[in-house]
Amino acid sequence: MSLNLQGKKVVLGVSGGIASYKSVSLARLLIKAGVSVTTVMTTAATKFVQPLTFQTITGRPVFYDMFNDDFQENIGHIKVPEQADCFIIAPATANIIAKIACGLADDFLSTSVLANNSPLYLAPAMNTNMWNKAIVQENIEKLKARGISIIPPTSGLLACQTVGLGKMAEPESIVKFLVKNPEFQSNSNNGLLNGIKVLVTAGPTREKIDAVRYISNYSSGKMGFAIAEYCLSQGAKVTLVSGPVALMPPEGINFISVQSADEMFEAVMANAPQNSLIIKSAAVSDYKIEKPDPGKNKKRVNLKLNLIQNRDILKTLGKQKSKNQYLVGFAAESENLEAYARKKLLDKQLDLIVANNILEPGAGFDGDTNIVSLINATDVLQLPQQSKFMVAEKIIQKIVSDPKWAQIKNYNP
């Protein structure tokens, strides 16, 4: 994950819960992002994941024994957090949360936290009943009041085979949480898109039939939002134009909400000239109702709708783009993926097209993963199934490696 974290130093605390296995993935993501990771474990955590696993991934010693042979020489629980840019505990069990809230220090992890002076992040993980207990929530509020950041747990199937709130946030969500915190950002000049103005579209559109009904599609907006978030993490100035979705717009982004294809057309055309990079991932309705009923259509045996074509946003952008703009489109197909995508690449005058087969498991609408091919005039890069945030990363990497991008990246309209 080529995030803006190069050179950062993180202490990763792992306490004893079944979610400890996710911490392995978290360590791997941080390492891939250029972070130096030092792992501190509780004794209970070593029962779930072997210290050797973290040592192998991070290339650094793992600390869990307060009284090892070099204790007097190094005093590890003081030395380990000394140079850290941040300290994150994932998973944070009810036990370690209570210890930190009360200032207890009786093992390597809790003493390291007490000696730590860098920003502290906790990713709680526990049974729903435990999470909802008043004492746990009181401890959480105490920690928040002291400036400790809590990465909220999510709902889902827990280890006890019940469904509820208490799952540790996914490793990618934790990394994204870190990226959004200015105190953890590296020098913004390191970002792949530092200072670049980027316009992203996302989500579906809704075309009114009458006052209560509309035509739309299954797009969730997750791909477009992931692209916007990744661009933001790389130092870009991002404008996100989105149709109706159940997602919160990322902080720090200029967010424009629209409903219909006409509204999206107007918003995109008003903002396009000011942006060097335009990524149109929205699933815009091809057709709209010729004459929507201002009231409610009464139920009848049959209803005929006259549909007319909406204006083609991507084609208009292709015609109007300047030599200092880079245009990316999406192609959601059910057959002949590469052929149809290449035709669209040429017809719409795109620099890059992101194509996916909507019938392929893990690649359709509304999911958290995607399987895409990145196609430009000269080659095709086929990507395996991965999260949409990771796909966003690969898209941006493909763009910045294009010789054309080198010609326009310094242009600031």
Which residues form the catalytic set? Answer: 160
Rg (CA), the chain: 25
**Rounded Cα–Cα distance for residues 382 and 372 (Å):** 6
DSSP 75-94: -HHHHHHHT-SEEEEEEE-H
Task: Specify whether the CB–CB gap between 370 and 385 falls below 8 A.
Answer: yes
* Residue 40, token pair as written in the block: 């501190």
Give the burial string for 208-218 (b: 16+ CB within 10 Å, else e). bbeeeebbeee
Give the length of the chain.
Answer: 413
The burial class, CB within 10 Å (0-12 / 13-18 / 19+), for 13 is: buried
CA atoms within 13 A on the CB side of 33: 31
Please check whether residue 254 is in contact with residue 239, taking contact to mean a CB–CB distance below 8 angstroms. yes
Question: What is the amino acid identity at position 196?
Answer: I
Which stretch of DSSP H or E encloses residue 397?
Answer: helix 388-400
3-state secondary structure of 38: strand
